[in-house]
């Protein structure tokens, strides 16, 4: 599960951080790894203050990094058409 949090930079609450944690935990129960991308400094602060431990999730800078990471874990890459 690639969860893009790029747009979550305003009106973030501890409730938001708990929901992210629960979503990831639910996905893990189904055998799905959760990758968080686009975590803003504001969201990181709320997560840290909420006491939720998101260390169990892979966190990457951007959606592009997340896509490359997920593809790499499955042994795939992105290549240009016709190459």
Helix 41-50 vs helix 14-29: angle between axes, to the nearest 10 degrees? 80
In this structure, the dihedral spanned by the alpha carbons of residues 49, 35, 66 and 12, taken in order and rounded to 10 degrees, is -30
Q: What is the pLDDT of residue 83?
A: 57
Please tell me the pTM assigned to this model.
0.80
Mean pLDDT of the chain: 86
- The per-residue b/e assignment along 37-53, b for 16 or more CB within 10 angstroms, e otherwise, is bbbeeebeebbeebebe
The pLDDT tens digits for 39-59 are 888 888 888 888 877 788 899
The pLDDT tens digits for 18-44 are 888 899 999 999 999 999 999 888 888
């Amino acid at each position: 599960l690639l969860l893009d949090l790029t747009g979550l930079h305003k009106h973030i609450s501890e409730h938001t951080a708990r929901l992210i944690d629960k979503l990831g935990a639910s996905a893990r129960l189904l055998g799905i790894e959760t990758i968080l991308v686009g975590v803003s400094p504001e969201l990181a602060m709320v997560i840290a203050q909420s006491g939720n431990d998101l260390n169990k999730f892979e966190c990457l800078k951007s959606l592009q990094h997340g896509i490359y990471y997920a593809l790499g874990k499955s042994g795939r890459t992105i290549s240009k058409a016709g190459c």
